[in-house]
Amino acid sequence: MLKHVNENRMMTSPQGNGDGDVYAFGINRNGELGMKDKAPKVTPQLVSSNMKKRIVSVSAGLNYSVALTTKGTMYAWGVNEFGNLGVKDTKNRNVPTRVRGLKNKKVWKISAGACHCLAVTEQGELYSWGRNACGELGLKDVVNRAKPTLVDSFGGKKVMNVMAGFDFSVCVTEDGMIYAWGGNAHGQCCAGDLKNRNQARKISCSGKVIPAKIVIGGQHGLMLTDKGHVYSWGRNQCGQLGVGGFADTANMVLLPVLQTKQVTSVYAGANFSVALTENGLYTWGGNHYGQLGLGDKSNRFIPALLVAMKSIPVERVFASSSAYHMFILDKEDRLHALGPNNFGQLGIENEESTPIIDDTDNYRELPEEVDFMRGRHVTSMALAQNHTITLVTNQLCSSPQKR
């Protein structure tokens, strides 16, 4: 049972006031940035010419993006091979396009998986669409959907939170129950076996622990308890479970290294994991692109302290189930980037201030500040595999000196 989910105020309207701008950067071969053209952007570019609605949150899959407005409407753009844009066809879009099919119901929560998307309405109903090869839509079949379709599997209980991974989905209902469904070849549904699920199934927490936060990566999950302990499950090919070794597990396992670290939050990327503690950030898992911020490209099978950020108070981390890069927002509103930048997805140009596209050596193995965002307050970020969408408030904060 997830702690603190019975907050009815969360169901009244989308979070935020929409007083901000949307920026995009990275690959744009199929209109992923929503800017009408297909030219890549290696520094953040304003999407305002196409996005005139007041946006409160953004999410992204492998190569598409979704935005939520203050009025509870959704817009999507990018690759639409599986109907994942929710626009009733499978044609790509290079400009934000209204998601239809919700019968005027307001949405307050969105989550984009690799090729499927999930949305929760203010009534607590869950809708899904896109790819469904592993049952990730939770519709009791494996048929793709090109428009939002009601997931009727919770006995009338309201859905309070939802997360979409590479090929599986997780949600939390108003009574604190956690459900998972979809691909389960690596145990990512935490069901004790490796069978796919095309219908939501409750996740049983380990022992008598009280969950405080759930996050999922590409094919793994993390749970933070009210005691500050961290559990993991699912795929472990790169060590993303943080328990040593690389064996997958279909049940929750405790991360002993973090038991004494006073963990306050957890985050998950495609194949890596992050924990924010009172004494700094810890990262582990896949590190082929330097995304762990440890100064090299070696995977880590147990959590390692991100030394480069030890003396910088961290506000939060932005990571995504579809992305191999991540961003760290410090308490002075400075945004730090890590991982691959071969398509400009970090929003950082090279030293010569010219684009480096498809450069396999264009990585950041140590945190580097995104200069463009200095003096701006980032409220939401959507990380796709090779592009990034950022929501920034209009009001500039005091601009700190660069370190």
The structural domains of the chain, with segments of one domain joined by +, span: 1-19+54-204
pLDDT tens for the chain, 403 residues long, are: 665 433 333 344 455 445 678 999 999 999 999 998 889 999 999 986 555 568 999 999 999 999 999 999 999 999 999 999 999 999 999 999 999 888 789 999 999 999 999 999 999 999 999 999 999 999 999 999 999 999 999 999 999 999 999 999 999 999 999 999 999 999 999 999 999 999 999 998 766 788 999 999 999 999 999 999 999 999 999 999 999 999 999 999 999 999 999 999 999 999 999 999 999 999 999 999 999 999 999 999 999 999 999 999 999 999 999 999 999 999 999 999 999 999 999 999 765 444 445 555 789 999 999 999 999 999 999 999 999 999 998 555 444 333 3
Which string of b and e fits 84-114 if b means at least 16 CB within 10 Å? Answer: bbbbeeeebbbebbebebbeebbbbbbbbbb
Rounded alpha-carbon distances, angstroms, from residue 5 to 156, 204, 212: 16, 17, 9
- C-alpha–C-alpha distance, residues 252 and 229, integer Å: 12
> What integer pLDDT is reported at residue 395 of this predicted model?
54
CA–CA dist 24, 371 (Å, integer): 15
Across the strands, what pairs with 186? Answer: none
Tell me how far apart the alpha carbons of residues 378 and 326 are, in angstroms, rounded to a whole number.
14
Q: For 1-19+54-204, give the CATH class.
A: mainly beta
* Largest distance between two CA atoms of the chain: 58
pTM: 0.92
3-state SS, 65-88, equals EEEEECCCCEEEEECCCCCCCCCC
What count of other Cβ atoms lies within 10 Å of the Cβ of residue 153? 18
Write out 92-134 in H/E/C secondary structure. CEEEEEECCCCCCCCEEEEEECCCEEEEEECCCCEEEEECCCC
